[in-house]
Amino acid sequence: MNSFRKLTLDKSMELLKESLELTPGGMLGIRRPYNFIEGEYPVFIEKGYAGHIVDVDGNDYIDMLCSYGPIVLGHIEEEINDAVKAQMDKGFCFSLVQEIQNRLEAKLIELIPCAEMAVIAKTGSDVTTMAVRVARGFTGKNKILRCGYHGWHDWCVENHNGVPESITELTIEFEYADLDDLKSKLDANKDQVACIIITPVGHPLAKDVAIPPDGYLNGVRALADEYGAVLVFDEIRTGFRASMGGAGQLYGVIPDLACFGKAMANGYPISALVGKRDVMKVMEKDVFISSTFFPNSLEMAAALKCIEILERDNVIENIWNKGRRFLTSLEQIKKKYNAPITVSGIPPMPFITFDKVDELYKARRKEFYTQTIRRGLFIQPYHHWYICFRHTEEDMNYALKSIDEALGYVMENYPIRSKGE
């Protein structure tokens, strides 16, 4: 297999140099170059269309990161943009709320099994943090049991620098798919746990995407009931992608609260906390939640139109069908090269991770993502990928061809070493 030539990224690198003088790290968090392959990936994007993005140097990529999940349809959806423009003509930021809020919340209540009431916010971190405050207000307890990534706020951030120890001590992590671990931590903190918050599909950073084992989520539900804890599903990634009602609906388990965002409005900044009436009602008087921008209506117009398209065009079924074929093909490619990789994920959220069979696993990973980006496939080494509605059959076939060629090149140049070599 041949290596493709390095991409021309001159303008991206110039802009990165400039941005490093303007903001810490040039940009925040997971978008920084070290989360990709430095020097091989673009840093600045010029535009997107359908299932593609184009960087500032003019390189065109099939986008299977989908802005880390919000792009469920495709880039530049005219129907959604037109709905937003029509709302803009009415005004969108007021001291009071607009009627469109009722329409969106009613739609969420119609679609999501646990939703008896809803509150609209802007980001995933907004609503996971809101859920924790609501659970504490409802139960009168302080401790949180968590599993998964839930955002950047003090109670859950993975890097504890800048966070008082007194806050971090109130949040306890438990292992996904291990009911014994969850039960032991509930026992150790008996009568102190306000909520159990979990991503129903496990997606730890740089690790395999984990489908819940049979009975696992039901077991979590039962333990929450037994110990008097509010059960929260963090559906920020799976909402409007695993199914219209999220992974809770897909796997038939109803939490007390659920957090939705990302795919809800195809890229417009909006999120929602939904849940059972008695729990949600604490926000009426007992728990304070407020934001100047939560009631802004442009994103609500985008969400209503996005949801309309998802239902009208059977988008989720389309994505699942493409994803099933994609995962099957990834397994065939793995077998073809006897590659030390793990193929994981649900069909809308596929992933490849490199097994730690020897000391070359990091080199294989680096070379694989170098070769895929050079071929115009935009995926990420440490975060699972996404399939969107506008990914065409040609896109999917090209992505698989790129993965095939890249993995073939990797295994030719980084074969598995036996012990002692």
- Of the candidates 156, 94, 92, 93, the one whose C-alpha atom is nearest the C-alpha of residue 124 is 156
pTM comes to 0.96
Tell me the average pLDDT across 278-304.
Answer: 97
| Cβ(364)–Cβ(334) below 8 Å | no
pLDDT score at 420: 54
- Of the candidates 340, 358, 343, 270, the one whose C-alpha atom is nearest the C-alpha of residue 72 is 270
Tell me the average pLDDT across 202-223.
Answer: 95
The pLDDT-based confidence of 235 (bands split at 50, 70, 90) is very high
Give 52's strand partners: 49, 62
pLDDT at 105 over 70: yes
Separation CA 71–CA 51 (nearest Å): 9
pLDDT score at 2: 81
| Cβ(271)–Cβ(126) below 8 Å | yes
Tell me the average pLDDT across 374-382.
Answer: 97
Residue type, 62: I
Q: Is CATH 2.40.10.220 what the domain over 10-75+314-413 is classified as, yes or no?
A: no
With 0-12 / 13-18 / 19 or more C-beta atoms within 10 angstroms meaning exposed / middle / buried, residue 165 is: exposed
The pLDDT-based confidence of 416 (bands split at 50, 70, 90) is very high
pLDDT score at 206: 82
Tell me the average pLDDT across 389-397.
Answer: 98
Domain ranges for the chain:
10-75+314-413, 78-312
Separation CA 33–CA 89 (nearest Å): 39
pLDDT score at 221: 98
**% of the chain residues with pLDDT over 70:** 99
pLDDT score at 1: 73
pLDDT at 421 over 70: no
At 19-65, the pLDDT tens digits run 999 999 999 999 999 999 999 999 999 999 999 999 999 999 999 99
Mean per-residue pLDDT over the chain, rounded: 97
CATH topology of domain 78-312: Aspartate Aminotransferase; domain 2 (3.40.640)
pLDDT score at 335: 98
